[in-house]
Structure 1
Amino acid sequence: MKKIIIEGKNINNIETFYEEVNRVFMSQENWKIAQSLDAFNDLLYGSFGEIKGKEKIQLIWKDIEENQKSLGFQTTLEFYQNKLKSPEIFNRKFVLSKIDELHHGVGLTFFEIILEIISDHDNITVINN
């Protein structure tokens, strides 16, 4: 089983999350994934980057508790609020519903969305370290 280590100390916002993902998963590629949850999901399928196909992965995420905070409610709220600045790109009604869900405690934080994406890949196990 391949072990991949995410250094949580390198992550303090969404931008640095993607920087860490690119450092860890894309070091052998001559390009980087975009700051997109869809791109992150695609990466986990194993067609490019560190993961090869459906190989078993132990994803060791150091300082995960800190990242749960740094990618939590406030970061997620700002993420959605920034999308509202580009109504020609993003569905305003959808984004407002996500903000409303957050305020009512039923919406997922950016961190929780990341974990949900990872959990969709049966070959990847997250280890809190």
Structure 2
Amino acid sequence: MKQYRINGAEVHGIPDLYEQFNRELMAEEDWRLGSSLDGLNDVLYRVDSEIRDGDPAVFVWTNHALSRDALGFDETQRWLQNKLAQPTSFNQQRIQSDLDELRNGAGKTYFELILEVFADHPLIELELR
């Protein structure tokens, strides 16, 4: 079984998380995964295909509570505000709606969005420790 490790104690923001994803998932690639939920989703499809070929995989996320805090409200708000600052790159209406929902307590944090990406890949086991 292939095991990927994420150390939540080393995650202080979104870029730190993707540094760990790159270390774990992209070591044999000649390109790096950017801070993108869509990009992460695409790379996890590669892991899905490896699992289907008989190579099970598990992600072990230690100190995940620290990541939950680091990728919580403040970091998510910064991430959404950065997207709003790029009006030609993102759907501004949707981003503003996401930001409003976050501020009203109904929106998802970046940590929760990451968990949703993993949930879209039921063959991949995610252990939060």
Following TM superposition, the consecutive aligned residue runs of length 4 or more in structure 1 with deviations greater than 3 angstroms are none
Contact 1:54 1:123 in 2 (8 A): no
Deviation at 1:52, TM superposition (A): 6.3
The percent identity for this pair of structures is 37
Instruction: Select the structure with the greater relative contact order (CA < 8 A; seq sep ≥ 6).
Output: 2
Q: Which residue type is aligned with residue 120 of structure 1?
A: D
- Structure 1: runs of 5+ lacking an equivalent: none
**Secondary structure of residue in 1 paired with 2:61:** strand
Contact 2:48 2:124 in 1 (8 A): no
Deviation at 1:103, TM superposition (A): 1.3
Does residue 115 of structure 1 match 2:115? yes
Residues 81-100 of structure 1: matches in 2 within 5 Å?
81-100=81-100
The separation in 2 between residues aligned to 1:64 and 1:52, in whole angstroms, is 23
Deviation at 1:2, TM superposition (A): 2.2
Deviation at 1:17, TM superposition (A): 0.9
Q: Which residue type is aligned with residue 112 of structure 1?
A: E
The separation in 1 between residues aligned to 2:59 and 2:92, in whole angstroms, is 35
Contact 1:57 1:125 in 2 (8 A): yes
